[in-house]
Amino acid sequence: MSPEFPARLWQVSLSGISISQTQRFPAYAGPTYCHCVLLQTRGQQRASAALHEFLNASWFQCADLDFLPTLLTLEEHGGSVHLREEGAAIRWGERLHIYLMGSEPGDVPDADVEYAAVREIVRLNLAYLCLKRFWIDGPLERGQPVRGLPYYQAERGFRVRCI
């Protein structure tokens, strides 16, 4: 059983999830579109900010890395994923302890959230990344213009905005 920590995030409202392209960085080999996950949360502000930072780190942008699939299948007690310099997540039963850069597992976590809620966010992110490959990455690889930007809103589901 995990101990109680003062940085507990009491609830993540999945009805408030949105995932969308927010920035364009043409300095890379071809334009790279990064996406952002926005959540409506209730709980301590520090824990909410930590969850947002964790879910918008660079590791969340790529389905080819093992981080996302590993996060979906963590062992119930002590299963963890370490995200290089961007933090770590450790599962304790139905809770997920999130540690940002500079924190060490064993310290008080930066956020304590429901594991099921984080799994749902990761699952939606993976679906979004598949759409991104089709609408953005594929055309760029073929030297074609990007014709649409996928996004997700809980109340509307997945959509593609024509550009």
19 located within any domain: no
Q: Give the whole-angstrom CA distance, residue 14 versus residue 11.
A: 9
Domain count, the chain: 1
68 located within any domain: yes
CB 5 within 8 A of CB 44: no
pTM for this entry: 0.83
155 located within any domain: no
26 located within any domain: no
pLDDT of residue 30: 42
3-state secondary structure of 84: helix
Task: Kindly indicate the confidence band of residue 29, based on its pLDDT and cuts at 50, 70 and 90.
Answer: very low
Name the residue range of residue 114's domain.
44-133
50 located within any domain: yes
125 located within any domain: yes
Maximum CA extent, the chain: 53
Query: Would you state the structure tokens that stand for residue 56, as one six-digit string?
Result: 């918008």
149 located within any domain: no
105 located within any domain: yes
Q: Give the whole-angstrom CA distance, residue 35 versus residue 25.
A: 11
Report the DSSP beta bridge partners of residue 12.
41
Judge residue 112's burial from the number of C-beta atoms within 10 Å of its C-beta, 0-12 exposed, 13-18 middle, 19 or more buried.
buried
Residue-wise pLDDT for 77-96, tens only, equals 999 998 877 889 999 999 99
In terms of Cα–Cα distance, which of 50, 38, 146, 145 is closest to 99? 50
Above 50 in pLDDT, residue 28? no
